[in-house]
Amino acid sequence: MEKEWKAYEIGELDQYLFGQGNHYEIYKKLGAHMVDDEGQEGVYFAVWAPNAKSVSVVGEFNDWDRTRNPMTRAEYIGIYTCFVPGVKEGMMYKFCIETITGEYHMKADPYANYAELRPGTASRITNIENLKWTDSSWMAAREKWNHKKEPMSVYEVHMGSWKRHPGTEDEGFYTYREFAKEITKYMKDMGYTHVEIMGIAEHPFDGSWGYQVTGYYAPTSRYGTPEDFAWMINYLHRNGIGVIMDWVPAHFPKDEHGLAEFDGTATYEYADPRKGEHPDWGTKIFDLGKNEVRNFLIANALFWVEHFHIDGLRVDAVASMLYLDYGKKDGEWVPNQYGGNENLEAVDFFKHLNTVVLGRNPGALMIAEESTAWPKVTGDVEDGGLGFSLKWNMGWMHDFTEYMKLDPYFRKDNHHMMTFAMSYAYSEDYILVLSHDEVVHLKCSMINKMPGLGFDKYANLKAGYAFMMGHAGKKLLFMGQDFAQLREWSEERELDWYLLEEPEHQAIQSWMRDLLHMYKKKQALYELDQSWEGFEWVNADDAYRSIYSFIRHSKDGKHNLLFVINFTPMEREDYRVGVPRKKQYKLILNSDDVKYGGNGEKRQNIYHAVKKECDGRPYSFGYKLPPYGVAVFEF
């Protein structure tokens, strides 16, 4: 008599959908799930290993003996299952894969939700079905939230090196719960809207910063349990902070316990090394031609957004997925069917991914870290686009940092570097980024990119940050740069918070805090971020004096902002700026204020435009612009 099928088991429909690449909640079936089987409590194990000769589950519950709990192969697509009674939460386990050549490999569970703390590599039994959420107000508001019309200033953070407990015997990491409380206080004070958490999925090597993932469905155990991770998200939401996490579908490491050659063959990766390996990174590339692999990744994105309430995924290394020859020499890559270098399978994958994730989760974000001129990254899928919500503006970042590094004497010859990004600013929905990548590998911290000594360095950085906050696009800044961290970032130590005892670092932090709060309060800085109507150059061509002036317009035309920024150490006693109307112009931000490290010279609050042509406009007013001075006026 055929045994009765139980709801937790892998059924024919599950296998069919998984084989088609459309089982969006496959993580509820594959992996290890605590169940009650007719009064007998235990764990139901399921793993996809299509080319394995046999599979068994081993762990603390059977003395890691591969003969004790063999798994049964389901009929269709190579899924192995078994029920093991008496297995308790917290127990460690792995899958023992017998390959077609008769070798045995011990593999961590690709769908595990919890892992042993590195250097251990086993998966752990856990139950994430009953997480406690009290963020219903946030989640309801998220459904109506539209990033195109709202402010978005992102604080990029590496949890293990933001702050650490001093003098502790272990590594001093903050737990998820401790981090949630501390980061919330900091972000509310500073005025950020979102936190972006680097590399939070389980990874074996600290030095990869979380970008070489072995446990795609597991928050890293470095900082606590999956329940602690959920508590952190819940706490941030209840305090009005959005949560973005880095997500890495581009590649995975070759660690023996991970996805590489999972069943003894190229299971998750392309079999041809010219397609399946990154020579620069020493990692494997997902085979996006396999439905089951695509399903693994798409369901994983949904897992974080739906099960853990993550508000957005910043998709790492998109360019490396789109181009078959990325980082490869001639002979190291295989052209597509038309002879081109585009990975057509990756294009199809992104369209599917973004359509499903954003279609099922209104208000969520899919953000592409994409560094090339690939068209329509944020364009609609129906119009040939990839369907992302936002794209990192790497072109702006490159031009900005190169300009800011220049001695002010040479800036007049490179004036275009700061204006060029506005020529393509509306070709995509952009986020301006000064990320962790810009302050590692001998690139210097932001403050040490600045030319000059002492005052000049800090004044340069203030001018640069003001330009960034006034420019069209959402904003992202890596931790430590908002108080002028001097050393390059390292994952091995916490930020140099002691610098905030020094007045110049306090001044940068005060400046950044006021810029962020101004950005959130003044709708001109975000309301028309995707429209030419929102940004207007007053003078984009004052190259000789290296001064930029521009206007940000509010939708109703009643709350406009005028920015004037001087990128040289030359004072302009009566800098005249053209304005559109004969109105009052109220000074709302002045870099010369004492609290920002300026001279504190007394200035009037209101400036009256007079009928005097300047910058091709009929009206203008004069303002004493100090060295590296920034002035923001509201009108």
Three-state DSSP at 71 gives: coil
> What is residue 3's predicted lDDT score, i.e. its pLDDT?
47
Query: For residue 577, how many other CB atoms are within 10 A of its CB?
Result: 26
Q: Compute the mean pLDDT over every residue in the chain, rounded to the nearest whole number.
A: 96
Please compute the mean of the pLDDT values over residues 391-408 and round it to a whole number.
97
> What is residue 541's predicted lDDT score, i.e. its pLDDT?
96
> Cα–Cα distance between 346 and 276 in angstroms, integer?
13
Superfamily classification of domain 12-124: Immunoglobulins (2.60.40.10)
Q: What is the pLDDT of residues 277-307, one digit of tens each?
A: 999 999 999 999 999 999 999 999 999 999 9
- DSSP one-letter string for 94-145: EEEEEPTTS-EEEE--TT-S-BPPTT---EE----TT-----HHHHHHHHH-
pLDDT at 233 over 60: yes
Q: What is the pLDDT of residues 450-504, one digit of tens each?
A: 999 999 999 999 999 999 999 999 999 999 999 999 999 999 999 999 999 999 9
Q: Nearest-CA neighbor of 37 among 73, 3, 77?
A: 3
* 520 CB-contact burial (10 Å; exposed 0-12 / middle 13-18 / buried 19+): middle
> Cα–Cα distance between 280 and 588 in angstroms, integer?
49
Q: Is the pTM of this model over 0.75?
A: yes
Q: What percent of the chain has pLDDT over 90?
A: 95
> What is residue 550's predicted lDDT score, i.e. its pLDDT?
98
Of 2.60.40.1180, 3.20.20.370, 2.70.98.10, 1.10.3720.10, the CATH number of 532-634 is: 2.60.40.1180
Q: What is the pLDDT of residues 574-587, one digit of tens each?
A: 999 999 999 999 99
> What is residue 56's predicted lDDT score, i.e. its pLDDT?
98
Q: Cβ(246)–Cβ(198) under 8 Å?
A: yes
Query: What is the DSSP-derived secondary structure letter of residue 436?
Result: G
Q: Cβ(434)–Cβ(476) under 8 Å?
A: yes
In the structure, what pLDDT confidence band is assigned to residue 1 with cuts at 50, 70 and 90? very low
> Cα–Cα distance between 236 and 339 in angstroms, integer?
48
Q: What is the pLDDT of residues 318-339, one digit of tens each?
A: 999 999 999 999 999 999 999 9
Please compute the mean of the pLDDT values over residues 101-114 and round it to a whole number.
98
pLDDT at 107 over 90: yes
> What is residue 4's predicted lDDT score, i.e. its pLDDT?
54
> What is residue 75's predicted lDDT score, i.e. its pLDDT?
82
> What is residue 622's predicted lDDT score, i.e. its pLDDT?
96
Examine domains 12-124 and 532-634 and report if their fold is the same: yes
Please compute the mean of the pLDDT values over residues 359-376 and round it to a whole number.
96
Beta-bridge partner residues of 368 = 315, 391
Q: Cβ(307)–Cβ(26) under 8 Å?
A: no
What residue ranges do the domains of the chain occupy? 12-124, 532-634
Q: Nearest-CA neighbor of 506 among 453, 449, 563, 462?
A: 462
Q: What is the pLDDT of residues 341-360, one digit of tens each?
A: 999 999 999 999 999 999 99
Name the residues annotated as catalytic: 316, 369
Q: Nearest-CA neighbor of 208 among 242, 248, 256?
A: 248
